[in-house]
Amino acid sequence: MNHPSRLKMALIHAGLTLLCMATLYPVLWVVKMALSPTDGLALTANPFPETVTFEHFRQVLSGTDAAGRWVFGRQLLASIVVSGATTMVGLTLAVSAAYALSRFRFPGKDGGMQALLITQMFPATLMMVPIYSILQKLHLLDSLSGLVLVYATTALPFCIWNLKGYFDTLPRELEEAAVMDGASTFQVFIRVVLPLARPALAVTALFSFMTAWNEFILAATLLNDPSRFTLPVALQRYVGEHKVEWGKFAAGALIVSAPVMALFFALQKHLVGGLTAGGVKG
């Protein structure tokens, strides 16, 4: 590649800086609301807080229920447990199913792939009423395991599609060589395929984690015990119909978004490869 000129580089930097600023403006605005002592209500374009206080964070972090018990810690734990378990369950199921779809021949394979995609087209909120009844039959209402099951399965179609696309791009020669060396199919899968698929696994895991960490309509409907609420449901408390506590909402929003941002940061190198290698073959 020919080296871009200095001027061109400067232009690119200027353009990117401008766009980054536009992207960050809403985030700064939330930071400002979270740090300002008032509820951040003033008609101003300045995204930086004039006075800084950590009061809203303190109030959110020390959130208690009506009886005075400290629930924030439990809600954080519930969120971590639910998202972690969803990732584990979802990834295990998706990896094996995607591998089978990529490598084995069996009847109904193409139909199955299409069916997976089709379910994504039916609005999720409308599936809530039947899901509620099914969980009741399984005795999983108001339990975190019920929630994990729902999250893991609803994220599966995307995970399977993404992983299958990636597996399709992996050369089969490596697997054949391993079989020659006497490895069983399962060993090949664990020892050869999975390590190669690391970028796609990272992205898929991130996706499952995010689904569970961010979802709130199902969680708000299915959970009845405040100490088991996930964080988004807990956050809903601050944006009531008649009164919006912007400061606390903003502080809570930052707390909820931070872990996912950290994950994005950690996985961002894999992000590009993991998403598109699958996409190319689709």
Partner 1 sequence: MKHWLVLALLATAFGARAAPEDARPLKLWHAYRGGEETALVQATELFTAKTGVQVELLALPYDAYAAKLTNAIPHGVGPDVFIFNHERLRNFHAQNLVAPASGLAREDYFPNAVEALEVDGQVYGYPMSLKSLALYVNTKHVPQPPTTTEALLKMLPALSNSGEGRFGMAYESGDFYFHAGFLFGFGGELFDASGRASFDTQGMARSLAFVKGLQDARFIPQEASGALVKSLFNDGRAAMVISGPWFAGEIAPEVDYRVVGLPQVSETGIPIRPFLGVETAYVSSRTAKAEQAQKLARFISLGEASRVRATVGRQIPADVAAYTLREVQEDTLISSFREAARHATPMPNTLEMARVWEPMKLALRAVLQGGTLPQDAGALADRRYRALHRERPPEASPLPWLGLLGAMALGGSVWVLRRPAATLPFKRRYPDVAQAAAYIAPAAAGIAVLVFVPFVVGLSLSLFHHEAGEYSFVGLANFVDILASRGYSITEPLSFYFTLAVTLLWALVNVVLHVSIGLFLAMLLKDPLLKLRGVYRVLLIIPWAVPNYITALMWKGMFHRQFGAINGLLVALGLEPVSWFTQFSTAFAANVATNTWLGFPFMMVVALGALQSIPQELYEAAEVDGASKWTQFRHITLPLLKPAMLPAVILGSVWTFNMFNIIYLVSGGEPGGGTDILVSEAFRWAFQRNEQYGFAAAYSVLIFVVLLGWSTFTKRLTRSSSEVVG
d(CA 99, CA 159): 12
Minimum separation from the CB atom of position 239 to partner 1 (A): 6
CA angle (125, 128, 130) in 5-degree steps: 140
Minimum separation from the CB atom of position 42 to partner 1 (A): 6
The amino acid at residue 164 is: K
Residue 85 binds partner 1, judged by CB under 8 A: no
Interface residue with partner 1, options 29, 170, 179, 192 (CB under 8 A): 29
d(CA 187, CA 183): 6
Stretch near partner 1 under the rule CB under 8 A, chosen from 27-35, 55-63, 75-83, 170-178: 27-35
Stretch near partner 1 under the rule CB under 8 A, chosen from 56-64, 80-88, 113-121, 171-179: 113-121
Residue 192 binds partner 1, judged by CB under 8 A: no
d(CA 63, CA 76): 11
d(CA 202, CA 240): 37
Two tokens, residue 180: 């020659």
Minimum separation from the CB atom of position 171 to partner 1 (A): 16
Closer Cβ to partner 1, 35 or 256, answer by number = 256
CA angle (273, 276, 279) in 5-degree steps: 150
Minimum separation from the CB atom of position 69 to partner 1 (A): 11
Residue 244 pairs in a beta bridge with 239
Closer Cβ to partner 1, 174 or 272, answer by number = 272
Residue 152 binds partner 1, judged by CB under 8 A: yes
Residue 30 binds partner 1, judged by CB under 8 A: yes
Stretch near partner 1 under the rule CB under 8 A, chosen from 54-62, 71-79, 96-104, 173-181: 96-104
Q: What is the DSSP letter of 126?
A: G
Minimum separation from the CB atom of position 173 to partner 1 (A): 18
Helix, strand or coil, per DSSP, at residue 64: strand
Minimum separation from the CB atom of position 75 to partner 1 (A): 14
Q: Contact letters (x/-) for partner 1, 43-72, by CB under 8 A?
A: xxxxx-----------------xxx-----
Least Cα distance to 194 among 280, 95, 60 occurs for 95
Is residue 230 within 8 Å of residue 107, measured between CB atoms? no
Residue 168 binds partner 1, judged by CB under 8 A: no
Taking phi over 0 as left and psi of -120 to 50 as alpha, with beta for the rest, 108 belongs to left
Two tokens, residue 87: 């990732």
* Residues within window 234-273 making contact with partner 1, judged by CB under 8 A: 235-237, 239-244, 246, 249-250, 253, 256-257, 260-261, 263-265, 268, 271-273
